[in-house]
Structure 1
Amino acid sequence: MKMKFLYLVFVATGIFPQLIYAQQQYTLSELHTSQGEVISDWISNNQAFTIQLKAEEAPVGSVAHSQFQVLIADNDVSTLFEFQQGQLVFSGGIPLPAGENNLAVKQFINGKWHDIGQSQIKIMTSSGFKQSQWSPKLELNINSQLKEKTSGDSTASERPTFSDVTARVGLMSHHENDDMVIDSNVNLLSVSNRSQAIQFGNKAAKASKLDVADYLVSVQKGNNKVSMGQVSYGNNALLVDNLSRRGITWQYQNEANSTINGAILNGSDIVGYNNFTGLANINKQYVKVLGFGFNTLTDSRISLRIEGNYLDAQRTSQNDFGIGEIASAEKNQGMAFKVSTIDSEGKLNADLTMGLSRYTNPDDNNLDFGETLVPLKTKTALAYNVNFSYILLQDWLTPWQSPMSFTLLANRARTEPLYQTLTAFVQANVLTQMVGGQYQIGNISGNISVQRAEDNLDKLVNILTTRTSNTNFSSTIPLAQIFNGNETDNSPNPWLPALDYSYQSTHQFAVNSPEASVSGFNGGSHLPDQITTTHTLSSNWQLDMDSISLQTSYSFQDNQQIGRELADFKSLQHALSYNLQQNDSTSWTFSISRNRQNDLENQKIQFNNAITISFNWQSENGLALNANYGLSKDDDSKKQGENTATNADIGLIKNLVKGQWWFPADGSISFRINYNDGRNIDRVFNLQNKFSTTTAQLGINLSFQ
């Protein structure tokens, strides 16, 4: 090792020349190991090998004395080779450039360098991987408020001026071999303002300003994969649904897509460096899941996939105290299955998901204070969800030769009362049913559906049972394409819009009348019965680079509850927007809207009028300017009140590109001034207030990678 070190020093200082001398003309033949075997696979980065040369007959008049250069990729490694008996010998022990690279040999003959051959050489990294990548990253954000000015009834903020610095440091790695892949990603977050620290919500003033935001390490070898860190698990909506926690997951998946998987996760969300693996208190707070999945009937007309999960979860009581709720320890066990099917033609697609959950509240020392508490009953409940779709019509032609298709959709879901799980959000005690479809006739497409939902599935006499019925219809009619303006190239007619129409009717009403003595309901006057109908029509024109949008919406809320028959509302809304693309770098947006809501019971109409103007300019060198102005006013037909609000802001942004102006990072520098004012008048109580706020802010965002 000492001699090799001295050799490298002599080469670097120029004592030894970086050339190899020979007395004959050659061409590259093959690469051999030190045992004489032809190299066709990967070799270690310090493995000895030889470059076999083939002697050629020198042309008449050529100079016999010659020199060699050896290049791997763009690296000159000539000094690491010795010329011995017509071979270039690398004795090993010194790392060569890793990766799949081109090895080229040149010979200096008659005063010029000549390529005498090239060959591919695959050299592993020093850690034995064929691929090794490290990607560090630093994101630096500086958010400053330079000044704040208030007037009238406005109150100054707690921090009128500030400068907050946030730094996110990340490191990603990728290592790959024949049957193994290792990926890692870790992110640290550092803040100057402690209130923005990751664990400030839990530790307040004790929260560290530098903390671990997240990390993930995954190792895949063959069909097996193990991940640790901030992992995600589950795709069953009734039991474990995309649960993201700190812990460990593993999975085996073969070529037939059969899988066995599992996870051991913490029972609650964890951030920061505390409980780094997520398994420190795994005996008290945990989520343990096992799962499987396999395909069957793959060679038949209809194929099936069956998936299942078993869950065992527990978490301790939380410190928070909510209104009407005392947080306590929770324990949950359950299992779920999902069967999905698809036919060979792709017309049928259906799935059935079932979940069985056993939920209880175990003894909690944080609540009993040594007293004997009344135990809660352990409840096991069932939930299921069925989805069905079938393409009834596909590629049919109408009498006017337009393509037509229709897909039938259906769904039924039922969740028993008291169904609950710690690892998915499921609304309990409800039955929903839906039937509908998607249609397309030529360029016209849309959806139609009828849905009904009902609660109180156990029909308890002291609980209100409500039923909600929904009818939906939507249609997209691109008139510009249907009546195109150019018969030669079928280009859209710029004077015709694309229309979008939607209709929705919702009827929510009481199915039963709970007894007043046990429910608190007072006859029919407390039973809801309301119908809401909404129509929306929008039109969009595309005029070269400009566009116009017009939208109108009408809704009617019909209250049929006993004693509230006149408590109805009508609402009419109009909105117009025009986007002007002045040139490639400049654009304007003008918007105006008017809303009218009629309170029929109080015979009062409320109005809202608003206008906004936006300007955007972008230069080729990354400099941008944007400005916005908005004005809105609320009043009513009885002149009882009036509210006026104005907001305006202007911002200058310089986008930074790595390498431009010799800058070492991507990012942006922005300066923005924001102004808001308002005036509220209440003529009923003779009150009035006026306020305004102006702020100037500076932002710097840099990304080094």
Structure 2
Amino acid sequence: MQTHHHRRPLLRAALAIGLFASAAGAPAAAQVAGVPIAIEKPTFAGQTIKAGDTLEVKTSRELTPADGQIAICIGPLDLSKQTRAINATTFRAEPAGATLPPGPQEVVVHLIRGDQWIDLAKFTVNVEGPASSDAGTPSKGLESRFTIGMKGQLHERVSGTTKAGTRAQFQDLTTTGALNWEGKPLGWDTKTSANLTGVSKRSEAPRFGTEGINAEKLDLNDYKAEFTRGDAKFAIGHLTYGNHPLLINNRDSRGVTLGYAITPWLDVSASAIRATSIVGFDDLFGLSTVDHRIYATTVGVEMLPAKKGLLRGELMFMNAHAQPQANVNQGQIPDAEKSRGLGVRLLSTDPDGRWKGDAMWARSRYVNPTHPDLAQGSALVAVKPETRDAWQAEASYLLVKDAKWLGDKYPVNLRAIAHYEYAEPLFKSLGASFLADQQLTRYSAEARAGEIALTLVGSEKNDNVKTIPTILKTGTYEKLAQLTVPWPSVFGTAEKPATLLPQMQLESRRVRQYTLRIPDGTNARSSFWPDQINYSHKAALNWNHEPYSVSYTFEIGDQDNRQPGREAADFLIHTHGITVAWRVNDKLNLNLGYNRSRNYSYEKSQATYNNGGTAGIEWQFADVWSVKGDYAKALAFDSLNQQYSNTLTTALQLARKFTLEQFGKKLPGQIFVRVAFAHNRALDTVVAQVLSGRQTLVQTGLSLNF
């Protein structure tokens, strides 16, 4: 059983060398199981926007939790914490208290997966400066957007082991509305917005998770009102406050914030927000419960007033109380909590952006107070308050900037980054989600030659930082290499790329986790203590040659378990995925996809296979008529013939666009009919079970915008 451990390091090395030596290019779209994620060109691309405008982007398909999270950044401003999902394909970043930097700026849309930030798209905008928002600027006044929708089901038919839905026939009404107003009453620059949601089915109401059958069918999702005059700012509604990752960091809730620049080098801000998120017209300011609030104050000082931004210090104080109330649409019952903390943060950057430094410290006192709703008459032992510290620091320096070593086409940039985190055991703040009892050190280097990019990262993380003898202590050590090469622009130009060549992204990762110290006094078997190495290697290629596009991904995953007695509990996983799209013309699009994975268990000497194929068509055969068809087939089995499954799903949708002339306006809308069919068959020889069933649905939908 030991031989495969000796062979696989050679296999890993060969695979890693093969990936980095033979593949070529970085996709403009991230890949998941062969299905690309691309960003549609947004309306703001190439346009002039205001300093407080929101940025909204759409993805080419729905995102799942496995894909990651969308984050939007503009220039030096990181709006990842302010990026929200409006629906499964639409994401919006609201600058909140921060203002977009004026002048030409680059907007970058990232996909965050764990510690990875994958660039999906880049766009250029021009942000208006202060001069463009003076008293002479006309008011935008009131703007509104409303959508009325109807989703329904006309027919459902099931057979075999497939269970019928809770409602075979239904018609549900939904409506969404957005109101925006901008003006300058009494000299205050004012921006207000509100979003409402209405449903006919109560279980889909915004507050059903917390209010149940008492939830309102028409409710306020969120609202915000901002008032600015000179150096003073005031805001109420759904807000985001805090930029201290250890104490209070982009806390999103309903409340009130104030800000004032006392001098060019001294500014203050304060906030009072609800401890948990809320929707609805009740508790409009979010502050009706005295013991369910987070108070925070920040004082910022430009330590070198003549060179603003070169060295800035911030002092923050936070006091928070939380009752056992869940966030909106969360069924859990949390503990009652209190925390009070003090934080210091120092930020430094030079004018040309070569040097960036960020260091912070926080001390937090946290406790779970006794609450009668949780005690329910029982005598509980009081929790002892704990006061703990945490630190975080990051420094980066651009060692080489726009060097012409490789010519004007490939300016060379090299940046080095160091990051450190430390939090004592039991450290916790209600305003942030920083993990306690860990120490993390991470080093990375980023090298770019034009659009070619190489990133190298190494990190070490330990828990049980105080080495408490009765607690397990583990270490996690990670190494990562990523290479991005856009071959079309390397062998072509921006105006005429070599589209027969692919964009390429390569990645290789090694993660080692093992036990640093076994708890004293334990008699547990040695196989209980972590000791494992995981390898993963990925290659993604993307061709865009009009009217065709092809995407291919290949992944290798190797789990090497080294616990005594479980050395053979290892897995080797291979995954392939390919998609082909053909834009026949402006009205007809075709796509095909195929993915295959093999998961081999050394312990069981068993290979599990998963194969899947997809096909799709979108055809607008008339100005107002369109048809969309989808087909998917999935087949899974193993080499020991223990399990087998076969799943088929297909759907056909016919849609018609229309326009209504009402209220002196043209109101666009759409109506569709969709027929869907699914057939599932599963066999398990271990438990002698066979499942087989079919389902047919006829669904309808209607939407009207005004």
TM-score > 0.5 by shorter chain: yes
Match of 2:700 in 1: 698
Pick from 241, 247, 265 the counterpart of residue 249 of structure 2.
241
Match of 1:36 in 2: none
Matched, 1:651 2:659: no
Match of 2:530 in 1: 528
Whether the aligned pair in 1 keeps the contact of 2:340 and 2:366 (CA below 8 Å) is: yes
Whether the aligned pair in 2 keeps the contact of 1:232 and 1:245 (CA below 8 Å) is: yes
Superposition deviation, residue 474 in structure 1: 0.8
Structure 1 counterpart of 2:386, which letter?
A: K
Whether the aligned pair in 1 keeps the contact of 2:345 and 2:359 (CA below 8 Å) is: yes
Superposition deviation, residue 238 in structure 1: 1.2
User: Counterparts of 2:450 and 2:195 in 1: how far apart (Å)?
Assistant: 51
Whether the aligned pair in 2 keeps the contact of 1:452 and 1:470 (CA below 8 Å) is: yes
Residue segments in structure 2 that go unaligned for 5+ positions in a row: 1-136
Whether the aligned pair in 2 keeps the contact of 1:635 and 1:641 (CA below 8 Å) is: yes
Matched, 1:461 2:463: no
* Structure 1 residues 495 and 373, CA gap change in structure 2 (3 angstroms): closer
Match of 2:517 in 1: 512
Pick from 493, 497, 505 the counterpart of residue 500 of structure 1.
505
Cα deviations by residue, 1:202-242 (Å, 9 ceiling, x for unpaired): 22222232333322233323322222222221122111111
Structure 1 counterpart of 2:401, which letter?
A: Q
Which structure would you say has the larger Rg?
1
Whether the aligned pair in 2 keeps the contact of 1:513 and 1:523 (CA below 8 Å) is: no
Other structure's SS at 1:582 match: strand
Identity between Structure 1 and Structure 2 (%): 26
User: Counterparts of 1:188 and 1:258 in 2: how far apart (Å)?
Assistant: 38
Match of 1:545 in 2: 547
Cα deviations by residue, 1:398-440 (Å, 9 ceiling, x for unpaired): 4788532211011001111111111211111111111011112
Cα deviations by residue, 1:443-476 (Å, 9 ceiling, x for unpaired): 5312111011110112112211111111000111
User: Counterparts of 1:471 and 1:267 in 2: how far apart (Å)?
Assistant: 38
* Structure 1 residues 514 and 666, CA gap change in structure 2 (3 angstroms): same
Pick from 259, 268, 275 the counterpart of residue 267 of structure 2.
259
Other structure's SS at 1:700 match: strand
Instruction: Pick which of 438-447 and 601-610 moved more.
Output: 438-447
* Structure 1 residues 188 and 403, CA gap change in structure 2 (3 angstroms): closer
Whether the aligned pair in 2 keeps the contact of 1:144 and 1:164 (CA below 8 Å) is: yes
Whether the aligned pair in 2 keeps the contact of 1:131 and 1:177 (CA below 8 Å) is: no
User: Counterparts of 1:206 and 1:553 in 2: how far apart (Å)?
Assistant: 49
Other structure's SS at 2:306 match: coil
- Cα-Cα RMSD: 2.7
Whether the aligned pair in 2 keeps the contact of 1:130 and 1:176 (CA below 8 Å) is: no
After superposition, residues 154-169 of structure 1 pair within 5 angstroms as: 154-169=162-177
Whether the aligned pair in 2 keeps the contact of 1:132 and 1:176 (CA below 8 Å) is: no
Matched, 1:217 2:248: no
Superposition deviation, residue 302 in structure 1: 8.1
Superposition deviation, residue 581 in structure 1: 1.4
Superposition deviation, residue 179 in structure 1: 3.1
Match of 1:346 in 2: 353
User: Counterparts of 1:258 and 1:692 in 2: how far apart (Å)?
Assistant: 68
Match of 1:276 in 2: 284
* Structure 1 residues 350 and 667, CA gap change in structure 2 (3 angstroms): farther
TM-score (norm 1): 0.75
After superposition, residues 174-193 of structure 1 pair within 5 angstroms as: 174-177=182-185, 179-193=187-201
Superposition deviation, residue 130 in structure 1: 7.1
Match of 1:380 in 2: 387
Match of 2:111 in 1: none
User: Counterparts of 1:482 and 1:245 in 2: how far apart (Å)?
Assistant: 47
After superposition, residues 259-408 of structure 1 pair within 5 angstroms as: 259-282=267-290, 284-299=291-306, 303-318=310-325, 327-368=334-375, 373-398=380-405, 402-408=410-416
Superposition deviation, residue 531 in structure 1: 0.6
Superposition deviation, residue 689 in structure 1: 1.3
Match of 1:612 in 2: 614
Whether the aligned pair in 2 keeps the contact of 1:665 and 1:702 (CA below 8 Å) is: yes
Superposition deviation, residue 662 in structure 1: 8.5
Superposition deviation, residue 191 in structure 1: 2.1
Structure 1 counterpart of 2:310, which letter?
A: S
User: Counterparts of 1:152 and 1:662 in 2: how far apart (Å)?
Assistant: 53
Match of 2:603 in 1: 601
Matched, 1:677 2:679: yes
Matched, 1:638 2:654: no
Other structure's SS at 1:299 match: helix
The count of corresponding residues between Structure 1 and Structure 2 is: 566
User: Counterparts of 1:326 and 1:164 in 2: how far apart (Å)?
Assistant: 30
Instruction: Pick which of 204-213 and 523-532 moved more.
Output: 204-213
Whether the aligned pair in 2 keeps the contact of 1:247 and 1:279 (CA below 8 Å) is: yes
TM-score (norm 2): 0.75
Match of 1:37 in 2: none
* Structure 1 residues 293 and 670, CA gap change in structure 2 (3 angstroms): farther
* Structure 1 residues 175 and 417, CA gap change in structure 2 (3 angstroms): same
Whether the aligned pair in 2 keeps the contact of 1:513 and 1:524 (CA below 8 Å) is: no
Other structure's SS at 2:585 match: coil
Whether the aligned pair in 2 keeps the contact of 1:301 and 1:343 (CA below 8 Å) is: no
Whether the aligned pair in 2 keeps the contact of 1:596 and 1:608 (CA below 8 Å) is: yes
Match of 2:631 in 1: 629
Other structure's SS at 1:202 match: helix
Match of 1:16 in 2: none
Residue segments in structure 1 that go unaligned for 5+ positions in a row: 1-128
Cα deviations by residue, 1:295-346 (Å, 9 ceiling, x for unpaired): 22243598111122211111223489xxxx9844211111112211012332
Whether the aligned pair in 2 keeps the contact of 1:630 and 1:646 (CA below 8 Å) is: yes
Whether the aligned pair in 2 keeps the contact of 1:182 and 1:218 (CA below 8 Å) is: yes
User: Counterparts of 2:615 and 2:449 in 1: how far apart (Å)?
Assistant: 39
Superposition deviation, residue 593 in structure 1: 1.7
User: Counterparts of 2:657 and 2:391 in 1: how far apart (Å)?
Assistant: 52
Instruction: Pick which of 400-409 and 629-638 moved more.
Output: 400-409
Pick from 589, 614, 621 the counterpart of residue 587 of structure 1.
589
After superposition, residues 63-82 of structure 1 pair within 5 angstroms as: none
Whether the aligned pair in 2 keeps the contact of 1:313 and 1:422 (CA below 8 Å) is: yes
User: Counterparts of 1:241 and 1:656 in 2: how far apart (Å)?
Assistant: 46
* Structure 1 residues 480 and 298, CA gap change in structure 2 (3 angstroms): same
Whether the aligned pair in 2 keeps the contact of 1:179 and 1:222 (CA below 8 Å) is: no
Structure 2 counterpart of 1:234, which letter?
A: G
Superposition deviation, residue 619 in structure 1: 5.8
User: Counterparts of 2:375 and 2:578 in 1: how far apart (Å)?
Assistant: 62
After superposition, residues 83-94 of structure 1 pair within 5 angstroms as: none
After superposition, residues 18-97 of structure 1 pair within 5 angstroms as: none
After superposition, residues 99-178 of structure 1 pair within 5 angstroms as: 131=139, 133-177=141-185
User: Counterparts of 1:365 and 1:482 in 2: how far apart (Å)?
Assistant: 67
Whether the aligned pair in 2 keeps the contact of 1:673 and 1:696 (CA below 8 Å) is: yes
User: Counterparts of 2:316 and 2:301 in 1: how far apart (Å)?
Assistant: 13
User: Counterparts of 1:444 and 1:267 in 2: how far apart (Å)?
Assistant: 45
Structure 1 counterpart of 2:508, which letter?
A: Y
Other structure's SS at 2:517 match: coil
Superposition deviation, residue 259 in structure 1: 2.3
Q: Which has the higher contact order (CA 8 A, sep 6+)?
A: 2
User: Counterparts of 1:433 and 1:580 in 2: how far apart (Å)?
Assistant: 46
Match of 2:484 in 1: 476
Structure 1 counterpart of 2:402, which letter?
A: D
Cα deviations by residue, 1:552-572 (Å, 9 ceiling, x for unpaired): 111211111110111111111
